[in-house]
Structure 1
Amino acid sequence: MSEQKKNDPLHGKTLETILNELVAHFGWAELGYKIRINCFVSDPSIKSSLKFLRKTPWARKKVEDLYITICK
C-alpha cells in the first residue's frame, strides 16, 4: 500500500460510515450548524442525507473535510 493511502483518513471509508461517525460525534443539530445543509437540519436521516450528498459534490466535500479535521 502506498504511503499516501495509509495517511488518507478517507481511504477505505464509505460515505455512509463517514456520515454515521460525524452524527455520532456531533449530533444532527451541531452537524447542521457546522455544515449548513438543509438535509442535516430539516428532519435529518442518514438515508436522505446520503441521497443528497451522493448527488452534490460540493456538499460531499464539506462532509469529507469535516471528517478529516476530527480524525487528526
Structure 2
Amino acid sequence: MSYEPPTQPANLPTKIVNALNESPPEQLRDVVKYAEVLAEHKEREARLGEEADQDDCDIEHHLDSIHPRGCPQFHER
C-alpha cells in the first residue's frame, strides 16, 4: 500500500471529497457498503423503468393491431 494519499475522482463534488477525507476508516467502510447497495438499487430501478416503458409500447402496439385507428381512451397522455 502506498503512503501517498489517494487521488480523488474528478467527477466527485468537492463537498463529498471533503466529507470523506474527514471521516474515520470505519465510517468510510460503511459509506462503501451503502454506496454499492444504493448504486445497485438505482440500476435496478432504471432497468425496471425501461421494462415498464417497453411494456407500455407493447400494449399500445397490440391495441393498434386490434383497432388500427387506436383507442383514444388508451392513448390519452
TM-score (norm 1): 0.31
TM-score (norm 2): 0.30
Higher relative contact order (CA 8 A, sep 6+): 1
